[in-house]
Amino acid sequence: MSEKSTSKFISLILRHHPEVIGITLDEHGWADVDELIEGVGRTREIDRELLEKIVAEDEKQRYSFNEDKTLIRANQGHSVPVDVELEKKTPPAMLWHGTGEKYVETIEEQGLLPKARLYVHLSADFETAVKVGKRHGRPVVFEVASGAMQEDGYDFFQSVNGVWLTKYVPVKYLNRKIRYQEGT
């Protein structure tokens, strides 16, 4: 199995289904590194060195170790109820959300919902939102009036890897900025 598929499997375990390999997450999303390696090792080749490489080189910086590297967790994107100890932060005036064209109608009716995740994920820059949108088909990017949302009492958090998080974005704070054409 490739390093990339191993990383995706670890993401599945630490964000959604730790029971698949027989481990548990604590209330803050931490898993024991030795247990994770043992569990993942039942179906893939992995050792501490490879795990440390995956954490260090992951393009999206999905994972964090504790100080002595005995525990590991996903930084955000959980569907299991954990508290990854996020601090409230003041967001920039505008944030971005990339999605697929097929979701636009629902978003424009209901706003941005976390769906199976604990939070709605927002990007600090337009280009990242475009990349996220492309993962869902033909991309559409929404501008989110995050400064106005915060003034109106909505909380924002920023994960270790820079992703902005909030529980919900009502329609009134959304502005569809662009719908990409094929080949752009």
Q: How many CB atoms lie within 10 A of CB 133?
A: 25
Residue 121 has φ and ψ, to the nearest 5°, of -100, 130
Residue 126: its H or E element: helix 126-134
Alpha-carbon gap, residue 184 to 182, rounded angstroms? 6
Q: Which of 184, 167, 177, 40 is nearest to 98 (CA)?
A: 177
pLDDT tens string 113-163:
998 888 999 999 999 999 999 988 899 999 999 999 999 999 999 988 889
Give the angle subtended at the CA of 80 by the CAs of 53 and 125, to the nearest 5°: 60
- What is the spatial order of strands in the sheet that 139-144 belongs to? 95-100, 139-144, 174-179
pLDDT tens string 34-48:
999 999 999 999 999
Count the residues in the chain.
Answer: 184
Can you give the pTM of this predicted structure? 0.75
